[in-house]
Structures are given as C-alpha cells and as structure tokens.
Chains A and B, each alone.
Chain A
Amino acid sequence: MFTGPMGAGKTTAIRAISDAPPVSTEVANTDQATYAKPTTTVALDYGQLLLEDGTAVSLYGTPGQQRFSFMWEILCRGAIGVILLLDGSTANARQELQSYAEAFRRIDPGQPFVIGIGRVPPGDCLLDECARALGSRGIVAPVFGVDVRQREDVLLLIETLLCVLEAHGLEADHAAH
C-alpha cells in the first residue's frame, strides 16, 4: 500500500509499475491553497504487478489528505506492508514523515514499512535525518531517495518491502523454534 501526503507521488508510483492501467479515483482538486495541482485522489488507486518470480502483488494507493484518513484504515487492513512516499522538496517533509509514520504505525505496528523520498535537494541530508528520526521513535524502516516516475525506483521499494516481510517471517520461525 502506498501512502503519503498530497502530491508525494502515490498515483504516479502505481502508474509507473502497474502491469495494467490502474483504477484511479482522481477528481478536480479545489484546494489549491494546500497543494497546487489539477487533480487529487479521493478514494484509492489500484494496480497489479507480476514479479519475475511469479509473485502477484496488488498495489493500493491512499488519498493523502487527513480528511480521508478513514480510507487509510480500510486500505491498511490486510495490506502486507506500507510504502510511505514523501516530497523532499517541501519545507515540512520532516514533520510529514513523523505524522504519517505515527499514524500508520498506530493502525498496524507490525506491518513492514518502507520510506521513499522524492525530489531531495542535492547535498541535503534529509534521508539520514529521516532514518535517525524514525530510529529515535523505535520505528525500523529502510529510507530511500526515489524518483517515483522511474519504474526501477518504485520496484526497489516493492522488493525492499518483500525482503522486510520475508525477514519478519524468518524471525517468527526462529522464535517458534
């Protein structure tokens, strides 16, 4: 499941990797004061991806705005993991990392969690800062700089999420024995 604030690139990321044209629920964005873009997702994005090893992955994207947080909880149920996308060029990327990470950890603390940050200004230490900020809150999550228009970058996030899922499985097996 892809989440993150308005304009972070959730719809773009799913379009970049979905095998078939995704289901989209974009409508005209009337809140230009918050984010100046023509459309916004109000329910979900849905796409599908078949990996080389035959694994079929369903891709869901959430609306970004807090007023749609009821959709976050609905989509989170049953998701194998969460990919949080952020726009690194915005002044409040650090606060958004904190608020979205905490919101989704509250919904399901055990879900594999991966962060992708786009448009990071050159020389900015945002990725390191975000990893440290998450660590200080006890949240273990890989953090990547990504361009969500690039299929390879989005696939990296998906593959990392699957690796985290596998590691969780191994830990559970180890604990059981």
Chain B
Amino acid sequence: MDSKLIMQPISQRFAPAVAEGTRRLLETLVDATPGVTFAMLTTADGFEIAAHPGALSKAQRLAAMSSSLQALSEAMVNEAGLAGARNLVIESDGGTIIVLGVGKLAPRLALTVVAHGGETLGRLLWATRECCVSMEQQLLPVIG
C-alpha cells in the first residue's frame, strides 16, 4: 500500500486541475463516439473523480455500483481460477455499460461508459480503451 494514499484524502490527491483534465478526455470520448451518453472516472472504492456530462444526478450511485460490480467480477475471476480481471460489459435492451480498469495506476481507477442505442460493442470497447490509454498517459505522472 502506498503510504501517500493513506495520508491524503481524495480531495487533495485529485486536485481540481487533474479532475478537469480528466473531464476533458471524457468529453472527447462522449462527443466522438456515437451512442455514448455518459462517461466517468472513479476510484476502486466508488468515488467519482470526473464525469461528463457532469450534471447526471445518478453519477454518485453509478460510481458506487461500478466499484461493487468490478470487485465482484474480480472475485468471480479469482474463484474461477483465472487472473487479472480487466473489463466488465453489461448489454441491455436499451444499450451498453462498459467498466474498464485504468491500468498502471495506484490506487486502481475505473472508467465507466454508458451508451444508448445500437452502436457495436467492438467500436465502444475500442473507443473506451483509447480513452483509458490517454488517461493513463495524463494521470501517471500525477498520481501513479
């Protein structure tokens, strides 16, 4: 465990400038990907770091749910004797939710993307992964 993480509350670790830089990447993802209506970066324990659009009233609950589902996925992966849970994909009649671990960072972070309509899963995954790579590049020097 990184001692910096224990000593500093989240509001100090994720300064407004970092959150704003992240939000701009989320905005680019939402604007450039047909069907994507919401994107959010969260900590593994369910706190929102940045989201776009920011006014979604359910963002805090979605952040906590994303954290729970990711942890459950990881527990299931371990139970099945696999290793290294990476992505969580939920497909519904109305659209798709993707939760991707943003690798190489500590604490672990996750990118949650909500898409409505019939955009193909492959395209959504590709766009979400590209956004993850950009986030890693931007955040690694700051918090990694």
Contacts and interface: CB of A to CB of B under 8 A. Distances in A.
B5 interface: yes
Chain A: interface size category: 20 to 34
B9 interface: yes
Provide the main secondary structure of the chain A interface. loop
B71 A43 contact: yes
A42 B75 contact: no
A28 B61 contact: no
A38 B64 contact: no
B46 to A, nearest CB: 6
B107 A30 contact: yes
B1 interface: yes
Interface in A60-85: 63, 65, 67-68, 70-71
A26 B107 CA distance: 13
Contacts, number: 78
17 contacts: A23-B75, A27-B45, A27-B108, A28-B1, A30-B9, A30-B43, A30-B44, A30-B45, A32-B6, A33-B9, A36-B6, A42-B44, A43-B68, A63-B68, A65-B46, A68-B64, A70-B65
Interface of A: 23-33, 36, 38, 40, 42-44, 63, 65, 67-68, 70-71
B67 interface: yes
